[in-house]
Amino acid sequence: EEKYAPSAVEEKWQGYWAEHHSFKANEDPSRKKYYLLEMFPYPSGKIHMGHVRNYSIGDVIARFKRMQGYNVLHPMGWDAFGMPAENAAIQNKSHPAKWTYENIAYMRGQLKRLGLSYDWDRELATCDLDYYKWEQRIFLEMYKKGLAYKKSSAVNWCPKCETVLANEQVEDGCCWRCDSPVQQKELEQWSFRITNYAQELLDDTYKLTGWPERVLTMQRNWIGRSTGCEIDFPLESGLSKIKVFTTRQDTLFGATFMSLAAEHPMALELAAGAQRAEVEAFIDKVKKTDRIKRGAEDLEKEGVFTGSYCINPVTNVKMPIYLANFVLMDYGTGAVMAVPTHDQRDFEFAKKYDLPLKVVIQPEGEALDPATMTEAYTADGVMVNSGRFDGMANADAKEAIADFLEKEGIGKKTVNFRLRDWGISRQRYWGNPIPVINCDLCGVVAVPEADLPVVLPMDAEFTGEGGNPLARVESFTTCTCPQCGEAARRETDTMDTFVQSSWYFLRYCSPKFTAGPLDREKVEAWMPVDQYIGGIEHAVLHLLYARFFTKVLRDMGYCNVDEPFSNLLTQGMVIKDGAKMSKSKGNVVDPNALIERYGADTARLFSLFAAPPEKDLDWSDQGVDGSYRFLNRVWRLVYDVLPVIGEAGAVKPDSLGAEAKKLRRAVHKTIKKVSEDVEERFHFNTAIAAVMELVNAIQAFAGKDAPENVAVVREAVESVVRLLAPFVPHFAEELWSQLGHKTVLEASGWPGYDADAVVDEEVTVVIQVNGKLRSKLTVAPDAKEEEVRAAALSDDKIKPYLEGKDVKKVVYVPGKLVSIVVA
Ligand code: ANZ
Ligand code: ZN
C-alpha cells in the first residue's frame, strides 16, 4: 500500500495540467460559457491566507463548472501599479518596476503551487505597457467626450503619501493606506464624470439580483439620490437671491434663518461692515477642517452671522444669514434653509445662537411647544402655521408645496446625488501617465494618437523627498506642444490605480489583442462575469468604478454589457485568535509553511471546510490537522478496496442486499447534497462534511469484499473521489487515475445522482386502538419514535376514536406497530 505523499502528487498533477493546457479557455459557441473571476491581487510580496481562501473558493466553482461541462474562463493577473512599490523602492534604493515584477514572479509561483485552475496564458499585469497604453487611449476618448476633465478643487491630501485621495480612500478622516490624518488642499485635478451615470448606476442596482443585498445598499447610499426642491430666497436688499436645496419643502414655513457654506461665493459680499473681520476669520478656520469631519453628525455646530438678511418667500419673514461649519459647498447649492424645529442640526445651531423656532408639523394628537422642545421633531405629522397647507399630512404637503413653488416661480423640483466625480490624479510615479501636455499658450492638449503611448520613463530617482519623482525626470517633462509647437510641459500626474482595476476583467477576454483595448467579439463571447469573488472592503470603491467604466466602454462601443458582474460573492476574513490576521497583531500564518508541511490540498480543504465563504474563517491548527487526516483516511480506503473492485461492472440496483442498498442510497444522497450545496449556495463546508459522512459509511460497510457488492463499493469510492475533485484536485486526480481513469476534470466528470436511489425506503406501521386495527402509516425505517407517535395520534382515521376519551398509553414497536389505549 502506498502512503499519501502530497508534494509528489501535487507536483505530478500540476505538471500534467500545464502540459495538457487543461485550463486554457477558447471561445466555443457549442458549450455554455462560465466566466469565473476572483479580484486580482496587489503584488505585495507574497500571498497570505486571505488569498488562499479567496482563490480556493473561486477554484472550487471553476472546477465544478468545468466538470459539469461548462466552457470556463478563469483568468489571473496583477493589480500592479500603486504606492507600496514606490515606497519599497525608496527603502531599498531600488526601482518600483523591479520590486513589482520580482513580487509577481514569486507570487505566481505560489499560486501555481496551490494548483489553481487558471488560464495562465491570459495573465496580465496592469503595469505592463501592453495594458496601460490602452488605458491611455480610453482616457483620451473620455476626455474628448467630456467624461475626463480638469478642475481646481479642494482635495483630500495625505501629507505622508504626498498624494490626493478620493473620498472613498479617506477612512475616519485618515488615509486608508497609511492612516495619517488627511488635510484639505486646493489643486488642479483630473476627474472622471461618474456623476453623469449616477442615475443609471442607481437604477441598475435593482437588476443585480445575484449580489448581496448589503453591498447593493452600500452602493445606493454612496450614490445617495435625494429628491426635493431648489427654492430662491431674495436678499433683503432685493439685489440678489440665495438658492437652497431642500428635501423638506414641507417645512418651508418654519424656515427662520439661512445657513451658508463658508466657501459660498456670496459669503464675503454678505459680510457687512462690523461683521467682516469675524466672518473672514471663520471662513479661514472652517476651510482648514476636513470635509469628513464637517459632515459628521457629532460635529460641534458653529457659525457666524454675516450681518445680512434674506426673506422667506412664503412667510415674508426676515431671516438672518449665517455661515455654518456643517454646510458643505459641494452638496446641493451650498446653502440651507434652516428649520430648527424639524432638523436636529439646525436645532442645535439655533439654541447656540438664540435664533427663533417655529413649529410647522405637529405629531398626531400632540402640540409641540417651541419653548420646551429639547430636540427637533423629525417624524411625520400634520401641517400647522403653514397657511393654506394647514391640516394636510406633511407627506402630501411635500407634493403640494413643490407644485405651488413651481407655479409661483419661486422654486423647482430637483434631484440631488451625493456621488461626486471621481478624482483620478495622483502625484505619483508608479502609475499610468495621464496622456496630456500642458502648454502655456494652448492650455491642456491631448497627446496625439500617433505619439501614444506615453511610456513611463525608467530613469526616475526615488529619494522619498520632493513629491512626485516623475515630475523631476527632465527628459519626460520637457516636450513641445502638439498644437503650436512651442516648448511645453508633459503632465506628470498618473492615474488612480482604481482605473486599472475598472476594466481588467474586460481585457482578460482578449488579453493579447493588438488592435485596441478590447476585441469586441471576444468580449461578447465571455462577458458578463458570471461569478465575481472578493472582499467586502471593495463594496463601494472598486465595484462602483468598475460598473461605471463598463457603462462608459459600452457607450463607446467596446462592449455590449450594462453590468460587468452578474453574481457577487464577498468572502469573509481569515482570523486567528479572534482577530484579523495582520503583521501588527503578530498572528499571521504563512501559507508557505502550511503547504510545505501538509500540501496544497490540505491548505485548500481546511480553508473551504472551516466556514461558509461569506463568514469569517477562524484559523485552527487542529482544523488543519483534521483535514489532513481525512485525506489520509480516504487515501487508505481507496487503496484498501482497489484490489477487490478492479473487475466490478455496473451496479444492478435490484439484486442488492439491504445493507448494500443502504450504502448506495447514501452515495446518491451525498451526490445530490454536494451538488446542491456547491451549486446553489456555495456551502462548501456542509458539502465536505457530507462527503466525510459518506466515507464513514463506506468504511463501516461490512460486505466490501463480497463479489455481489464490489460494483456498489466501486461506485461509492469513485463518487467520493469525484465529489472531492474541486476541493482537493491533485489528490482526486491521483486516486482517479489509480482507479483506472484518465483525468477527473473532463466534462461530465461531475457525477449525477440516481433519482430512484435517493428515495427513502419505507415500512408500514399499523395503528391499533384498544387492540383493534384502525389505520396504517408509511414511515422511514429509522423514523424517530416521537414522530411516529405524533403521526399516529393525528391520523385522520384514528382521531374519531380518541375524541372525548383519555389516551392512557401509547406503545411503539419500531417499524411495526403503534398501540393506543384509551378509556
Ligand atoms: C430644510 C430642511 C428641513 C432640511 C428639515 C432637512 C430637514 P439629504 O437627504 O442628505 O439629501 N442640506 C442641503 N444642502 C446641504 C449642504 N450643502 N450641506 C449640509 N446640509 C445640506 O439632505 C438634504 C437636506 O440636507 C436638505 O433639506 C438640507 O436641509 C440639508 F426639517 O432643508 B433640509
Ligand atoms: Zn501650445
Instruction: Write down the pLDDT at residue 184.
Output: 83
Chain centroid offset of residue 149 CA:
28
> Residue 15: left (phi > 0), alpha (psi -120 to 50), or beta?
alpha
| Residue 84's pLDDT band (cuts 50, 70, 90) | confident
Helix runs in 381-423, H state only: 394-408
Measured CA to CA, the distance from residue 46 to residue 321 in angstroms comes to 58
Question: Are the beta carbons of 460 and 497 closer than 8 angstroms?
Answer: no
Cα 331 to averaged position of ligand 1 atoms, centre (Å): 9
- Antiparallel, parallel or unpaired: β 568-571 and 241-246: unpaired
Please state, as a whole number, how many other Cβ atoms lie within 10 Å of the Cβ of residue 450: 6
Computed over every residue of the chain, the mean pLDDT equals 93
Question: Are the beta carbons of 618 and 580 closer than 8 angstroms?
Answer: no
Pocket test for ligand 1, best of 297, 339, 343 (most atoms within 8 A of CB): 343
- CA of 484, nearest ligand number: 2
Nearest CA to ligand 1 atom 8: 226
Give me the CATH code for the 6-126+501-585 domain, please.
Answer: 3.40.50.620
Q: Evaluate if residue 403 carries a pLDDT over 70.
A: yes
Query: May I ask the CATH class of domain 225-417?
Result: alpha beta
pLDDT tens for residues 313-342? 999 999 999 999 999 998 999 999 999 999
φ and ψ at residue 800, rounded to 5 degrees: -55, -30
Q: Span 288-292, mean pLDDT?
A: 72
Measured CA to CA, the distance from residue 570 to residue 537 in angstroms comes to 9
Cα 184 to averaged position of ligand 1 atoms, centre (Å): 23
CA dist 695 → 253, 418, 425, 429, 637 (Å): 75, 56, 57, 56, 8
Q: Kindly state the percentage of the chain with pLDDT values over 70.
A: 99
The one-character DSSP state at 708 is G
Measured CA to CA, the distance from residue 813 to residue 815 in angstroms comes to 6
Q: Where are the beta strands (DSSP E) in 278-380?
A: 303-311, 318-324, 335-338, 361-362
Instruction: Write down the pLDDT at residue 199.
Output: 98
Cα 229 to averaged position of ligand 1 atoms, centre (Å): 10
Q: Evaluate if residue 16 carries a pLDDT over 60.
A: yes
Instruction: Write down the pLDDT at residue 120.
Output: 97
Residue type, 258: M
Among residues 315, 362, 312, 363, the alpha carbon closest in space to that of 338 is found at 312
Cα 477 to averaged position of ligand 2 atoms, centre (Å): 15
Non-local (6+) Cβ contacts of 65 within 8 A are 34, 36, 72
Burial of 554: CB neighbours in 10 Å, binned 0-12, 13-18, 19+: middle
CA dist 791 → 270, 480, 779, 807, 809 (Å): 83, 91, 10, 15, 15
Among residues 677, 755, 660, the alpha carbon closest in space to that of 715 is found at 660
Task: Find the farthest-apart pair of alpha carbons in the chain and give their distance in angstroms, rounded.
Answer: 113
Burial of 472: CB neighbours in 10 Å, binned 0-12, 13-18, 19+: middle
Instruction: Write down the pLDDT at residue 92.
Output: 86
Nearest CA to ligand 1 atom 2: 248
Q: Sheet with 335-338: list strands edge to edge.
A: 303-311, 318-324, 257-260, 335-338
Chain centroid offset of residue 806 CA:
61
Q: Span 163-174, mean pLDDT?
A: 78
Chain centroid offset of residue 261 CA:
34
Provide the residue ranges of all domains of the chain, joining segments of one domain with +: 6-126+501-585, 137-193+421-497, 225-417, 642-756, 763-822
pLDDT tens for residues 38-83? 999 999 999 999 999 999 999 999 999 999 999 999 999 999 999 8
Strand, helix or coil at 753? coil
> Residue 224: left (phi > 0), alpha (psi -120 to 50), or beta?
left
Nearest CA to ligand 1 atom 11: 226
- Give me the residue label for grid cell 411635500: 398
- CA of 479, nearest ligand number: 2
Q: Evaluate if residue 502 carries a pLDDT over 80.
A: yes
Instruction: Write down the pLDDT at residue 217.
Output: 97
Measured CA to CA, the distance from residue 85 to residue 724 in angstroms comes to 39
Decide which of 3.30.70.270, 2.60.120.560, 2.160.10.10, 1.10.730.10 is the CATH code for 642-756.
1.10.730.10
Cα 475 to averaged position of ligand 2 atoms, centre (Å): 18
Q: Evaluate if residue 587 carries a pLDDT over 90.
A: no
Among residues 614, 606, 604, 602, the alpha carbon closest in space to that of 683 is found at 614
- Give me the residue label for grid cell 474586460: 506
Question: Are the beta carbons of 294 and 320 closer than 8 angstroms?
Answer: no
φ and ψ at residue 321, rounded to 5 degrees: -100, 120
Among residues 241, 235, 234, the alpha carbon closest in space to that of 308 is found at 235
Measured CA to CA, the distance from residue 296 to residue 594 in angstroms comes to 45
Cα 247 to averaged position of ligand 1 atoms, centre (Å): 6
| Residue 681's pLDDT band (cuts 50, 70, 90) | confident
Could you please report the per-residue DSSP string of 503-571? THHHHTTSTT--SSS--HHHHHHHPSBSEEEEEGGGTTHHHHHHHHHHHHHHHTTS---S-SBSBEEEE
Residues with CB under 5 A from ligand 2 (ion): 439, 441-442, 481, 483-484
Question: Are the beta carbons of 118 and 23 closer than 8 angstroms?
Answer: yes
Q: Span 753-770, mean pLDDT?
A: 87
Pocket test for ligand 1, best of 319, 331, 414 (most atoms within 8 A of CB): 331
- CA of 415, nearest ligand number: 1
Angle subtended at Cα 261 by Cα 257 and Cα 262, rounded to the nearest 5 degrees: 115
| Residue 385's pLDDT band (cuts 50, 70, 90) | very high
* Domain 225-417 shares a fold with domain 763-822: no
Q: Evaluate if residue 1 carries a pLDDT over 60.
A: no
Q: Span 776-790, mean pLDDT?
A: 88
Measured CA to CA, the distance from residue 623 to residue 389 in angstroms comes to 68
Cα 277 to averaged position of ligand 1 atoms, centre (Å): 28
Measured CA to CA, the distance from residue 664 to residue 701 in angstroms comes to 11
Nearest CA to ligand 1 atom 28: 246
- Antiparallel, parallel or unpaired: β 318-324 and 257-260: parallel
CA dist 264 → 278, 290, 297 (Å): 16, 16, 21
The one-character DSSP state at 485 is -
- Give me the residue label for grid cell 466490478: 648
Q: Evaluate if residue 708 carries a pLDDT over 90.
A: no
pLDDT tens for residues 633-651? 999 999 999 998 877 778 8
Instruction: Write down the pLDDT at residue 651.
Output: 86
Measured CA to CA, the distance from residue 706 to residue 704 in angstroms comes to 6
Angle subtended at Cα 353 by Cα 349 and Cα 358, rounded to the nearest 5 degrees: 70
Measured CA to CA, the distance from residue 174 to residue 156 in angstroms comes to 10
φ and ψ at residue 661, rounded to 5 degrees: -65, -40
User: Residue 244's beta-bridge partner residues?
Assistant: 231
User: Residue 259's beta-bridge partner residues?
Assistant: 322, 336
Cα 426 to averaged position of ligand 2 atoms, centre (Å): 24
Q: Which three-class secondary structure string do you get for 525-540?
A: HHCCECEEEEEHHHCC
The one-character DSSP state at 36 is E
Q: Evaluate if residue 510 carries a pLDDT over 70.
A: yes
End-to-end C-alpha distance for the chain, whole angstroms:
67
Measured CA to CA, the distance from residue 648 to residue 705 in angstroms comes to 11
Measured CA to CA, the distance from residue 198 to residue 195 in angstroms comes to 5
Cα 474 to averaged position of ligand 2 atoms, centre (Å): 19
| Residue 747's pLDDT band (cuts 50, 70, 90) | low
pLDDT tens for residues 110-119? 999 999 999 9
- CA of 225, nearest ligand number: 1
User: Residue 33's beta-bridge partner residues?
Assistant: 71
Cis bond before residue 729 (omega within 30° of 0): no
Non-local (6+) Cβ contacts of 77 within 8 A are 40, 122, 123, 124, 125, 126, 504, 508
Instruction: Write down the pLDDT at residue 705.
Output: 83
Measured CA to CA, the distance from residue 506 to residue 532 in angstroms comes to 13
| Residue 761's pLDDT band (cuts 50, 70, 90) | confident
| Residue 18's pLDDT band (cuts 50, 70, 90) | very high
Helix (H) or strand (E) holding 479: strand 478-480
Question: Are the beta carbons of 182 and 290 closer than 8 angstroms?
Answer: yes
- The minimum-distance atom of ligand 1 relative to the CA of 326 is 19
- CA of 489, nearest ligand number: 2
- Give me the residue label for grid cell 464490489: 710
Decide which of 3.40.50.720, 3.10.20.590, 3.30.450.20, 2.30.30.90 is the CATH code for 763-822.
3.10.20.590
- The minimum-distance atom of ligand 1 relative to the CA of 378 is 31
Question: Are the beta carbons of 429 and 470 closer than 8 angstroms?
Answer: yes
Among residues 306, 310, 339, 348, the alpha carbon closest in space to that of 323 is found at 306
Helix (H) or strand (E) holding 159: none
Could you please report the per-residue DSSP string of 796-814? TTTHHHHTTS-EEEEEEET
Which residue ranges have their beta carbon within 6 Å of ligand 1? 226, 245-248, 251, 261, 326-328, 331-332, 334, 336-337, 339, 342-343, 416
| Residue 161's pLDDT band (cuts 50, 70, 90) | confident
